Amino acid sequence: MAEVEPADVDLIAAGSTAAIVPIITAMAKAYTRNNGFDDYGEPNDAIAAVITTAAVRFLGNPAQTVGVQTAGPFTLDRRSSFTGWTLAELFVLNRYRKRAQ
């Protein structure tokens, strides 16, 4: 079983792609139940595109916080975070997901 390391959490909060891509990949694998991945765990082109777009959205707000910060005349307004797959990503992932009959 994999251990959760505090250093990994720090890398994610800092916006490290080396930490975020494996997490998004694991989420895609879980969603598709490993369909669309080869024997070495590598995704096919369609799932790789989903992983890329989801990772970029995650990187847009790596702390995953929503709120407003103000410093003098400057305001930073973060209204979004990674809340799951987009509709376009789901179209791709659902092609590979095993579903109950």
Task: Determine the average pLDDT of the residues in 4-23.
Answer: 86
Q: For 1-101, where are the alpha helices, taking DSSP H only?
A: 6-13, 17-32, 45-59, 87-96
d(CA 61, CA 83): 11
Question: Above 90 in pLDDT, residue 58?
Answer: no
- pLDDT-derived band at 30 (thresholds 50, 70, 90) equals very high
Domain ranges of the chain: 6-96
- pLDDT-derived band at 67 (thresholds 50, 70, 90) equals confident
The pTM of this model reads 0.80
d(CA 32, CA 44): 12
Residue pair 61/81 in contact (Cβ under 8 Å)? The answer is: yes
